Amino acid sequence: METLRLVLLMLHILGFAALFGGLVVQAGQPEKTVNAAMRDGIGTAFLAGLLLVGVLEAGDAGVDHAKVGVKFAVGLVILILVMANARKERIPQGLWAGLLLLTVANIAVAVFWSPVHRL
Ligand code: HEM
């Protein structure tokens, strides 16, 4: 089970790294869009995150549901905004900045809020 958790955690990190990279690479560009890295990144991060919760729930360590709830809500907003705008030629600067802010916010929640599973 620990190997599965670690594989999912690696996929989870690769996913939001692609999302973050897909956003930041457009920082200097006047026109913003939803690129494949953002779309596939949040899809992977979200799915792996849900599966991670399942693995942790199946384990005997408690799960911090408040932290997971916040991460789920923020992740869902990012997922919906990215998928809803994935076919558009361009997205507003404000949407791009908002997606970047939400992604960094979820990283901060993951890192600074106590670990999801209480050992
Ligand atoms: C953009 C969205 C997301 C970002 C940037 C993000 C970021 C992170 C980071 C940095 C970690 C590793 C730090 C840690 O071990 O706590 C992590 C772990 C985790 N994330 Fe996310 N996350 C996102 C979305 C989600 C979603 C939607 C869920 C599920 C509802 C989720 C569930 C988890 C769980 C359960 C862990 C802990 C894994 C473990 O300790 O085994 N994450 N996330």
Ligand 1 in reach of 117 Cβ (< 6 A): yes
In a domain, 102, yes or no: yes
In a domain, 118, yes or no: no
Pick from 38, 52, 79 the residue to mutate for probing ligand 1's pocket: most ligand atoms within 8 Å of its CB.
Answer: 52
In a domain, 117, yes or no: no
In a domain, 82, yes or no: yes
How do residues 29-43 score in pLDDT, each as one tens digit? 999 999 999 999 999
pLDDT value of position 119: 47
In a domain, 41, yes or no: yes
Range(s) of the domain holding residue 30: 2-111
Query: Which of 71, 53, 70 has the alpha carbon at shortest distance from 62?
Result: 53
Pick from 8, 106, 112, 117 the residue to mutate for probing ligand 1's pocket: most ligand atoms within 8 Å of its CB.
Answer: 106
In a domain, 92, yes or no: yes
In a domain, 50, yes or no: yes
Q: Which residues of the chain are under the pLDDT cut of 70?
A: 115-119
Q: Domains in the chain: how many in total?
A: 1
In a domain, 116, yes or no: no
